[in-house]
Amino acid sequence: MSLHAPRRFARRLLIAMVGLWLAGAAAAEPSQAQRAAFKQAYAAAQQGGDGWRSLAGNLQDYPLYPYLEAAALTHDIRQIDRARVEDYLKRNPGLIPANDLRRDFLTELARRQDWDNFLAMYQPGLGDALACSALQAQLSRGATLDFNRDLAALWAKPKLPGACDPVLAAAHDQGLLTTQRLWDRIDAAADANQPGTIASIAGWLPPDQATSAQRIASALRDPSATIAAAGQWPDAPRERQAAMLALERLARRQSVTADAAWQKLQDHFSFSPEQRNRVLYAIALFHATDYDEGAIARLIALPASVQTDVSREWRVRAALAQLDWKAVLAAIDAMPPTQQQDGEWRWFRARALNELGRDAEAQRVLASLAQESSFFGFLAADKLNLPYGICPLPFHADPQREQTLLANRGLQRAFEWFAVDMPRQARREWAAALDGADPETLKQAVAIATRQGWYDRAVFTFNTGDALRFYEQRFPLVSQDGVVRQAEEAGIDPSWAYAILRAESAWMTDARSGADARGLMQLLPATAALVAKRNGLDWGGGDTLFDPVVNIKLGTRYLAQMAERFNGAPWLASAAYNAGPGKVDQWMEARGSLAPDVFVATIPYKETREYVARVMYFAVIYDWRQHGNAVSMAQRLTPIGQAYRLPDDHSERRLVSCPVVAPSAPTEAATAPPASNVAAPSTTSNNTH
């Protein structure tokens, strides 16, 4: 027998034992009774005290148990002492609730001005407010500030929390905030549109300079009033800066008024070439977004060094609004090669070439574009009567890696939070558990999440490159939430309803925008109440919109209202869902004779343009997911004024095939609320539904 045989046997035995342990860890899923007990105990813990303990007697091994004590301590933060907090931190090192508790208790210690205990517990990297509190603690001990060591990084930020005010005041008293440093921060704040920062430090400048700083703040706050007063200012460097900023900002709101003001002020101030160019750029750009006469000429006249991708694309859009196909082609030719490769500009290059009788050139552009899975790729395929180029990527399971993931305590906590209907906390644990994970590990984690009904994980994880081809995971068909049935009852295309839901919330049931739009289809409570009343449905208040069944029932009815207003056209109704029906009426009045693709390209709001294209693309994907083929994009984009017919057995359907060489999928830009904003996502900046 080999001398190494016992060692090999021991090693194999150890591997087998670890495997059994992992399998056991993965299989030990908490029971529904434990989950119910946790939710009850957690609600009690959030009220403070120790009452939660009697409700959590059998939960010591439950993955979320540490959150109970942390919730109670957080509620009682003003009564507890350092010893209790440190005892919890020692027992739960590195856990999210421990880190949160440390941060909350440090904030409380700063409020108490208990600086000795604060410094004993403080750790760097807990945010600007606590960093400033740490400096305040050092000052309380008689320390002096060193600008480069203590303040340089904070000073460079255009906005700071109120906790930094005492530190900045101390820095001023120590003479560290020189005039040059003050102006450096004012310039940074001006670039970041933070007038409050400027106003708060202007008083530390010499009196004559303080007035100039306040004028810069005024330019950001009220450009109209600033421009009205600017004619009486001296022609000094900082006044020129203030006037330039006011003109830039006024151009965004009222391009014609800004243009007239520029004609007066350009002779009053000796603007530098850079300042002149910034004003001329803003005026030209926003004349274009207003589709004013002469907008194209203004954009062309801008110096090449001033032009940007945005100004070049608006040159195309302005030409499209006029149906000036020569100007469209010239504007696309003026773009740098990388910008020309965008699907939108390839499509409109082909459109322009067709309109100018250069059909062979157009065909070559369309043939390449038609292979791509995108809004414009599908339009190109329709034009050439080709199948849609959709190339699903096979999803291969890795059982060993999956078992390892199921044994990961952080992921266990993530899945448990999801199981008890608290997805915000689930996302935090997910992010922490998978921080730095390789793509294959992320893929297997998504597979587990998808099986458990946690669909948004695929949307946020598979958002670039070849991962976009995981269509089954990225576009789930969730029958239990009733999308198809509710859409059919509302009289709309289920694929379109799926697409709106997917674009609005990315399947985040707790999605909530800054405008308070809620749930899967992002409905405002007031709108939902009206929809419920109009359709004779029960209404239980705004929080019921976080229930997928309620949200989808009301959301599909609201979609039906939008569709009815616009002759059933889902593309126009999608624009109304995003920007509001009143805005769509205005755009139709101005450019309602344009073909649908051109009309979409001339929507003034970037967000709404991209939203409409994204929703219509998603509708095709969902149609294909349900039926194996899809109603053509051309049929979905009915001309303005023409009645839209719901898909039926007579509808033209496109087959789907994978091109011989599948093109790399483009990054899915703005598909869903950004992952960094998962607690309160907003897919629109002006939700009106």
- Residue 12 tokens read as 């194999």
- Concerning whether 248 is annotated as a catalytic residue, the answer is no
C-alpha angle 408-412-413 in degrees, rounded to nearest 5: 120
CB 159 within 8 A of CB 196: yes
Spatial CB neighbours of 308, under 8 Å, sequence gap ≥ 6: 281
Buried b (16+ CB within 10 A) or exposed e, 96-123: bbbbebbeebbbbbbeeeebebbbeebe
Which residues pair with residue 657 across a beta bridge?
Answer: 389
Instruction: Give the position of tokens 């290059």.
Output: 349
CB 684 within 8 A of CB 578: yes
The 3-state DSSP class for residue 114 equals coil
Give helix 255-268 / helix 237-253 axis angle, nearest 10°.
160
Spatial CB neighbours of 481, under 8 Å, sequence gap ≥ 6: 520, 548, 549, 552
The 3-state DSSP class for residue 77 equals coil
Strand 656-657 vs strand 630-631: parallel, antiparallel, or unpaired? unpaired
Active site residue: 69, 344, 504, 668, which one?
504
- Residue 577 tokens read as 């869902």
| Ramachandran assignment for 667, one of left (phi > 0), alpha (psi -120 to 50 degrees), beta (any other) | beta
Burial class for 53, CB neighbours closer than 10 Å (0-12, 13-18, 19+): middle
Q: What distance in Å separates the CA atoms of residue 667 and residue 464, rounded to the nearest whole number?
A: 4
CB 348 within 8 A of CB 332: yes
Spatial CB neighbours of 22, under 8 Å, sequence gap ≥ 6: 403, 404, 406, 407
End-to-end, the C-alpha distance of the chain in Å comes to 78
Q: Count the neighbouring beta carbons within 10 Å of the beta carbon of residue 440.
A: 11
Which residues pair with residue 512 across a beta bridge?
Answer: 518
Strand 388-389 vs strand 656-657: parallel, antiparallel, or unpaired? parallel
The per-type count for the chain, helices as H runs and strands as E runs, is 38, 4
- Closest by CA position to 619, among listed 492, 457, 468, 528: 492
- Residue 274 tokens read as 């850079």
- Residue 379 tokens read as 């339009």
Spatial CB neighbours of 507, under 8 Å, sequence gap ≥ 6: 455, 456, 459, 476, 478, 501, 520
Q: Which amino acid is at 136?
A: Q
Give helix 96-112 / helix 65-75 axis angle, nearest 10°.
10
Q: What distance in Å separates the CA atoms of residue 452 and residue 443, rounded to the nearest whole number?
A: 14
CB 110 within 8 A of CB 165: no
Annotated catalytic sites, by residue?
504
